[in-house]
Amino acid sequence: MFTMPELGQSEDPRTGKPVVPARLDLCSALWAGESEALVFATAKPNTEATNSVVGVLFLLSRTKDHWTIADTLRFTATGKDANVTAELTAGAGAGYRLGTAGMRPIITIRESHGGRGYGYQLSASFAVDAKKLKRLELE
Protein backbone atom coordinates (compact mmCIF):
# COMPACT_ATOMS: atom_id res chain seq x y z
CA MET A 1 0.00 0.00 0.00
CA PHE A 2 2.95 2.34 0.54
CA THR A 3 4.80 1.57 -2.70
CA MET A 4 5.36 4.44 -5.16
CA PRO A 5 6.47 4.14 -8.79
CA GLU A 6 9.77 5.86 -9.59
CA LEU A 7 9.12 9.10 -11.45
CA GLY A 8 11.48 10.43 -14.06
CA GLN A 9 12.25 10.64 -17.74
CA SER A 10 10.78 8.01 -20.06
CA GLU A 11 14.24 6.96 -21.26
CA ASP A 12 15.41 6.16 -17.71
CA PRO A 13 15.02 2.38 -17.13
CA ARG A 14 14.12 3.01 -13.45
CA THR A 15 11.06 5.11 -14.34
CA GLY A 16 7.87 3.30 -13.35
CA LYS A 17 9.63 0.70 -11.19
CA PRO A 18 8.02 0.30 -7.74
CA VAL A 19 9.92 1.78 -4.79
CA VAL A 20 9.12 0.30 -1.39
CA PRO A 21 9.73 2.45 1.70
CA ALA A 22 12.05 1.06 4.37
CA ARG A 23 9.68 2.00 7.21
CA LEU A 24 6.57 3.92 8.19
CA ASP A 25 7.27 7.51 9.18
CA LEU A 26 4.02 8.07 11.07
CA CYS A 27 1.18 5.92 12.35
CA SER A 28 -1.48 7.46 14.56
CA ALA A 29 -4.99 6.74 15.74
CA LEU A 30 -7.13 9.73 14.77
CA TRP A 31 -10.33 8.51 16.40
CA ALA A 32 -11.62 5.38 18.09
CA GLY A 33 -15.11 4.38 19.09
CA GLU A 34 -16.41 1.13 20.56
CA SER A 35 -16.65 -0.69 17.20
CA GLU A 36 -14.74 1.49 14.72
CA ALA A 37 -11.45 3.39 14.58
CA LEU A 38 -9.62 5.60 12.10
CA VAL A 39 -5.84 5.23 11.77
CA PHE A 40 -3.54 7.20 9.48
CA ALA A 41 -0.03 6.18 8.41
CA THR A 42 2.58 7.72 6.10
CA ALA A 43 5.78 6.51 4.47
CA LYS A 44 8.41 8.12 2.26
CA PRO A 45 9.60 5.79 -0.50
CA ASN A 46 13.18 6.66 -1.45
CA THR A 47 12.36 7.76 -5.02
CA GLU A 48 15.29 9.35 -6.85
CA ALA A 49 13.59 11.73 -9.27
CA THR A 50 11.68 13.66 -6.59
CA ASN A 51 10.47 13.38 -3.00
CA SER A 52 7.40 11.19 -2.56
CA VAL A 53 5.03 10.62 0.34
CA VAL A 54 2.27 8.01 0.57
CA GLY A 55 -0.48 8.28 3.20
CA VAL A 56 -3.10 5.65 3.96
CA LEU A 57 -6.29 6.18 5.97
CA PHE A 58 -7.51 2.94 7.54
CA LEU A 59 -11.03 2.31 8.80
CA LEU A 60 -10.84 -0.46 11.40
CA SER A 61 -13.88 -2.43 12.49
CA ARG A 62 -14.16 -4.42 15.70
CA THR A 63 -15.70 -7.87 15.49
CA LYS A 64 -16.01 -9.70 18.80
CA ASP A 65 -12.49 -9.53 20.28
CA HIS A 66 -10.36 -8.38 17.32
CA TRP A 67 -9.98 -5.50 14.86
CA THR A 68 -9.99 -5.88 11.06
CA ILE A 69 -9.45 -3.45 8.20
CA ALA A 70 -12.87 -2.53 6.80
CA ASP A 71 -11.75 0.09 4.24
CA THR A 72 -8.69 2.08 3.15
CA LEU A 73 -7.96 5.22 1.15
CA ARG A 74 -4.52 5.93 -0.31
CA PHE A 75 -3.06 9.39 -0.96
CA THR A 76 0.18 10.43 -2.64
CA ALA A 77 2.17 13.65 -2.94
CA THR A 78 5.32 14.41 -4.91
CA GLY A 79 7.78 17.26 -5.16
CA LYS A 80 10.35 19.07 -3.04
CA ASP A 81 7.79 19.90 -0.34
CA ALA A 82 5.69 16.71 -0.62
CA ASN A 83 3.59 15.84 2.42
CA VAL A 84 0.32 14.11 3.30
CA THR A 85 -1.45 14.89 6.58
CA ALA A 86 -4.70 13.87 8.27
CA GLU A 87 -6.68 15.65 10.96
CA LEU A 88 -9.87 14.94 12.87
CA THR A 89 -11.91 18.01 11.95
CA ALA A 90 -15.33 17.18 13.44
CA GLY A 91 -16.11 18.58 16.83
CA ALA A 92 -18.81 17.61 19.29
CA GLY A 93 -20.37 19.74 21.98
CA ALA A 94 -20.93 18.83 25.61
CA GLY A 95 -22.98 15.69 26.02
CA TYR A 96 -22.29 14.43 22.52
CA ARG A 97 -19.88 11.70 21.53
CA LEU A 98 -18.39 11.17 18.08
CA GLY A 99 -19.51 7.86 16.63
CA THR A 100 -23.05 8.02 18.03
CA ALA A 101 -26.10 8.61 15.85
CA GLY A 102 -25.65 11.79 13.84
CA MET A 103 -22.16 12.45 15.26
CA ARG A 104 -19.82 10.80 12.80
CA PRO A 105 -16.10 11.57 12.85
CA ILE A 106 -14.86 13.70 9.95
CA ILE A 107 -11.24 13.40 8.79
CA THR A 108 -9.63 15.98 6.50
CA ILE A 109 -6.68 14.86 4.35
CA ARG A 110 -4.23 17.40 2.92
CA GLU A 111 -1.76 16.67 0.13
CA SER A 112 1.07 19.17 -0.40
CA HIS A 113 2.71 18.91 -3.82
CA GLY A 114 5.56 20.62 -5.62
CA GLY A 115 7.86 23.33 -4.39
CA ARG A 116 10.56 25.54 -5.93
CA GLY A 117 8.07 28.15 -7.09
CA TYR A 118 5.15 25.85 -7.90
CA GLY A 119 3.66 24.38 -4.75
CA TYR A 120 0.00 23.64 -4.21
CA GLN A 121 -2.27 21.83 -1.74
CA LEU A 122 -5.31 19.63 -2.22
CA SER A 123 -7.67 18.66 0.57
CA ALA A 124 -10.82 16.61 1.05
CA SER A 125 -12.90 15.46 3.99
CA PHE A 126 -14.11 11.93 4.64
CA ALA A 127 -16.61 10.31 6.99
CA VAL A 128 -17.57 6.76 7.93
CA ASP A 129 -20.76 5.62 6.24
CA ALA A 130 -21.93 1.99 6.55
CA LYS A 131 -18.43 0.58 7.25
CA LYS A 132 -16.96 2.53 4.29
CA LEU A 133 -14.95 5.75 4.02
CA LYS A 134 -17.01 8.26 2.06
CA ARG A 135 -15.79 11.53 0.58
CA LEU A 136 -17.91 14.48 1.66
CA GLU A 137 -19.05 16.93 -1.00
CA LEU A 138 -20.24 20.51 -0.58
CA GLU A 139 -24.00 20.71 -0.38
Where in the sequence is the domain holding 70, given as residue range(s)?
Answer: 4-135
pLDDT of residue 99: 60
Number of domains in the chain: 1
| Per-residue tens of pLDDT for the chain, all 139 residues | 999 988 877 787 788 888 999 999 999 999 988 889 999 999 999 998 889 999 999 999 998 889 999 999 999 999 999 999 999 987 655 455 666 566 778 999 999 998 778 899 999 999 988 889 999 988 7
Amino acid letter, 57 = L
Write the DSSP symbol of residue 7.
P
pLDDT of residue 96: 59
pLDDT of residue 11: 80
What pTM value is reported for the model?
A: 0.87
pLDDT of residue 113: 94
Looking at the DSSP bridge assignments, the partners of residue 24 are none
Looking at the DSSP bridge assignments, the partners of residue 87 are 108
Residue 103 contacts residue 92 (beta carbons within 8 Å): yes
pLDDT of residue 138: 80
